[in-house]
Structure 1
Amino acid sequence: MFLSLAVLLVPIALMLTFYRVMLDGDKPITVDPAPAFQQASQEFAVAQPAGLGDDWHVSSATVRHENGGVTLRIGYVDPDDDPILMVQSTVPAATVVPAEVGKEGKRIGAFRTEERTWMRYSGRPGETALIFTETNRTIVIVGKTDQKNLDTLAAALS
């Protein structure tokens, strides 16, 4: 019986090792966000991150026309391998914020960068969000990650 299991487990272990080492199977999938940023920037002023390190990965990038406005969603994987979502939208903040943060979200502080002052919110269980609103745009950065990673992404937006 041990020999039968060894015949099955050895090839499986070799395949997993090959997948992880040679094919970088543990790295997050990365997409190019440039087309989404370009499409959204035709509709409104879009803040783009600059200076994020190579350990930040873009995992998704979409633009949608919804609720009478345009919404850009960029999904990131931060250096700690946690997901972060950046949303920029022309939809009114009263609609965007509850949809992205949750209806139970409440303000717990502020964070200041060189360009903006962000409102810090607690959201769904385990999530924290940074929110910036102005007349024609709302930016929401939300994720289940360390606060320093949210702050880094917010500070990188220009």
Structure 2
Amino acid sequence: MTGEPSDGVTGEPSGGVRAGGGTAGRAAPRVGPRALRKPGRGETSVRDMIGALLILVPVGLLLFSVGNSCSFAPGMPVEDPNSGPTVNVQSRLAEYAVGSAFPLRVPDVPFRANSTDRGPVEGGGTAVRIGYVTPDADFLSLVQTDGTAEGILATESGAAGRGEGPPLMRGTLDAAGLEWEVYQRDGGEPFRIATLPGDPDVRLLVTGSGSDEQFRTLADAVVEAPTAGGG
């Protein structure tokens, strides 16, 4: 049988070309959403860099901060005793001494002073506090006051604010030529209280996580320290 090969569609020649040179089966217009186009490298590089910086910069700052305040020890980080604020105790106590009802002592100790403040004592009187950080990253607080032993113990232990009794007396110890009464709750830090000789009555309270040796270093320094103010 003669004639052009058929492509299986009746009446259409092979190759899809109509007689007269016309193109067979012209494609109909596309209907529906177009396929997503992958952005070129030049379009995404700047955007990706900015996004990466927004993530990496805060992380880097956090790591820098942690690295400056902690040093690595097996099992856990240890606070750097040289990090944090430092205050000029001599300058601060000179300010507090103006108009003070009792003389203030300015101890010279091998600890970093990181805080000072002044406030009222339960039952009357004023407390002047110095906070120290030891080379072992422990803490000691020295309080000088003209309040009673009961009043300063209630104030510093927080017993008055929490509506509970003060720490119990556990005994006495001798340090820097003074007798110190030791008060402590079970598992808590000791509060050591002594009265300085002379008039008016001035009491010292030392508390914190520092060792007994560090307590004695602070006790010796405050007893031997020069005074400022006092009426």
TM over 0.5: yes
CA RMSD of superposed structures (Å): 3.2
| Paired residue total | 147
206, 212, 215: which is aligned to 1:150?
Answer: 215
CA separation in 1, counterparts of 2:135 and 2:171? 24
Secondary structure at the aligned position of 2:126 is classed as strand
Q: Which residue type is aligned with residue 91 of structure 2?
A: P
Corresponding position: 1:35 with 2:85: no
Q: Does the alignment pair 1:47 with 2:105?
A: yes
Question: Counterpart amino acid of 1:93?
Answer: A
Q: Which deviations, in whole Å up to 9, do the C-alpha atoms of 1:5-29 show, x marking residues without a partner?
A: xx849x72896189629xxx94232
Q: Are the equivalent residues in 1 in contact too, given 2:153–2:191 (CA < 8 A)? A: no
User: Which amino acid counterpart does residue 156 of structure 1 have in structure 2?
Assistant: A
Is the Cα contact below 8 Å between 1:36 and 1:72 reproduced in 2? no
CA contact (8 A) 2:153 2:166 kept: no
Runs of 5+ consecutive residues of structure 2 not aligned to the other structure: 1-51, 70-78, 160-164, 225-231
Maintained 8 Å contact 1:87/1:139: yes
Of structures 1 and 2, the larger Rg is shown by 2
Q: For 2:64, what is the secondary structure of its paired residue?
A: helix
Report sequence identity in percent: 23
Larger fraction in strand: 1
Q: 2:204 maps to which residue?
A: 139
Distance 1:123 1:18 in 2: 33
1:53-96: CA deviations, max 9, x gaps? 2xx11111112355542210111111211121111111222211
Runs of 5+ unmatched residues, structure 1: none
Q: Distance in 1 between matches of 2:209 and 2:130?
A: 15
Confirm or deny that 1:12 pairs with 2:77.
no
Amino acid at match of 2:201: N
Determine the C-alpha separation between the residues in 2 that align with 1:114 and 1:13. 46
Q: Secondary structure at the match of 1:91?
A: coil
**How does the TM-score come out when normalised to structure 2?**
0.52
What are the superposed Cα offsets for residues 98-150 of structure 1, whole Å, 9 maximum, x if unpaired?
22135341222333234322222224743112111356222110112322222
SS of 1:84's equivalent?
strand
